[in-house]
Structure 1
Amino acid sequence: MTRGASMALTVQSSPATNDYRFLVQDDRVHGSLYTDPAVFADEMARIFTDGWVFVGHESEVPEIGDWVSRRLGTEPVLMVRNRDGAISVVANRCAHRGTTLCPQNDGNNRNFRCPYHGWTYDLDGTLLGVPGPKGFHKDTADLGLDRPGQVDDYRGFVFANRSGTAGPLSEHLGAGGTDLIDRTSNMSPTGRVRLRAGWIGQRIDSNWKMWPESDNDGYHLNFTHASMALAVPDTYYDEIVMGGEEASASVTRAYDGGHIELDFRRGYTTELAWLGTTRDKVTDYCDALERSFGADKAQSILWDGPPHALVFPNLFLAEMNIARIEPLAPGVTVHHHTPLLVEGTDESVNRRLVLQSEAAMGPASFFLTDDAVIAERMHRAFQGAVVGDGGWVDLSRGLEREHSEDGQRWSDITDETTNRGFWHHYRDVMADVMVNSPHNGA
């Protein structure tokens, strides 16, 4: 792997004791998967280096020179709008001595200049110049910033694959992931959403995999979030989820590729229930959807609302929010979120969406703070878990009443179909790491 082509791979091979076919079974997983540093290293190699990872949205870098700082697994990167209008992803690390180029979260630059020795890079990572060039005999073309092997987007959602071996993004998304992003994007009358309200990141002392689980679990809401039901009665969650087993027509879904969803569409009993309002209060938004999509499709959008889903491994489509799951260590995760803003309509709709985002996922919110406490308690409980007779996590709820057809499985909204879908795909990705990973020294 050469500089300026693909990022240097720093993870090590997985030990033979990590038998993922055993650790992830059809109806349970072992607790050591949350806490074992060797498992985390394997994940950074197989999932976050060899696979596609969500980086950001094109709306975050609208102008040439705009950039935002992100991570691919534990690797700091910059997502940049280039001079030709395309989007690049480059390492946020000087190719000379490894100094962080941009310590801020976002900005706009004509180029990137290292504060240590003054090496200067173009927006696409090409080395432009070095002070005292006579002291170097190497070709500067070989000294550009590390870049992922593949960068691609779907409807403005940008993904990167560090190793360049993941195959087309379309195969990673599949029919399920594509449909979920389509439904998200079509919440905007123009078909283009904006992530421009700013991100809030909450650091949680838990493993990253607890967040795909919790964010898409329909069984815990009546217990973990009981305070919300008391403080804010008569929300659509009361009818859809909190009414108890089989009280709702909503379902939990698992798609091929590890993408999962709490599908509320069948459970809504009124138009715009997902927005908590009525047509007369958002008339301009409804009219704009009809002009763009036609009356029938607009009506479907207004009734169905946005998805509540995960695109494997780290993109959470949280209804009218977007979240990024960022693993830092086996027991440290940052959960970033931002409101999903729409175009082509009165800005009052976006103001409503920002307020709803603060209530649902902000630092003093009902949902994310409750889930963070549970995740940290779970992680502490599994510290020191070793493979043996104990330490298993049961995921069998609803297994016998699950339905399967056309690349997806579904069941009652309270069943653990989503968790099984995530973990079964995880097993498929991780189980062959010893045989097929380019990082095993073979």
Structure 2
Amino acid sequence: MSSSAPARFDRGHTDDLMSFLTASPTPYHAVATAAERLEKAGFRQVQETDAWDGTTGGRFVLRGGAIIAWFVPEGATAHTPFRIVGAHTDSPNLRVKPLPDTGAHGWRQVAVEVYGGPLLNSWLDRDLGLAGRLSLRDGSHRLVNIDRPLLRVPQLAIHLDRSVHTDGLKLDKQRHMQPIWGLGDTHEGDLIHFLEEETGLTEGDVTGWDLMVHSVERPAYLGRDRELLAGPRMDNLLSVHAATAALTAVSTSPGLPYIPVLAAFDHEENGSQSDTGADGPLLGTVLERSVFARGGSYEDKARAFAGTVCLSSDTGHAVHPNYAERHDPTHHPRAGGGPILKVNVNQRYATDGSGRAVFAAACEKAGVPWQTFVSNNAMPCGTTIGPITAARHGIQTVDVGVAILSMHSARELCGADDPYLLANAIASFLEG
């Protein structure tokens, strides 16, 4: 490594993130992977339909593509405040329609619907797998992951679109994004029967499905000094992984003054309005039941919420070297520069001056450098679960994350050390 190369931190965390991304092609797989790691750390799953107890230790709730996990330390009272890290498990992609079998002119295709706001061109000419959740006739569910080249969205050849270099690539979401997966005539039920065979089920077992395509290309270090990380779904599984690692780490810390919480939601990319989204009741219900299980009252809940702080952790924009004019001229977050604090006075992000102080203190305690992101005034600003969490629950919320390039692409890019730095800042925040 040359003397001008950036400092390298512990790459074990980033190696583990790469494994997490590969194992989590869908929100359902992401929460299953997180749950497995929590169980190894001593957390236990509780069912929403069961009565809860208020004993110490780690617990988690799974619902669809969402997971809420928390750790009750020794000495916690009914009004002990929470320290929450919020994230989301979904990423923009292509999702299978209810009638999936389609095709034309001798090509067998899968009918898909565009989910969220993906960079459509990034899905072209890419080897794609298929994964998700199958709902069975007996009421149970089965995860499926065909993690090999199965589908492809072919781009039109330059010879048939000579204007692409002058007018730009124009893609119609309905006509141009349907992937091919074979040759021959299309028959109703082909795709689901194929998945039944792949998962060892009997034909007719599957009566419902939530399926989506994913790139089968593995995450990889990139660059002369391997100081960059390229991979899928970093928006926002990078934060889910960091928060899971931080929660399991702090659960062994003695004398925690707060109850640390991981809240990873589905459906952020299309507005969070679902029973597993941040705009649904899941988080509030879990926190409230935790208070009541410890013998608390409504007054105890109000006291606990008043002292609670949430870090909404989601990826943000690193300054793009080819489009620097699109960024704020005085705020240029860089890959490798540590996590970012995201600020927007119009409440697209929930950070205020008090929240900035909370995050700065956590980073200082952890010895982690940090940066600030603000949108260019002439550009619309994205948003996160931060403002939703603050407004829905009356909880002080701070928006943070890691600066990346190619957000919403099938393959994104960040500094290889930034996930480790974010995880350390989150752990410091959870410890108080």
Into which bin does the TM-score normalised by the smaller protein fall?
under 0.3
TM-score, normalising length from structure 2? 0.23
- Name the structure with the higher strand share: 2
TM-score, normalising length from structure 1? 0.23
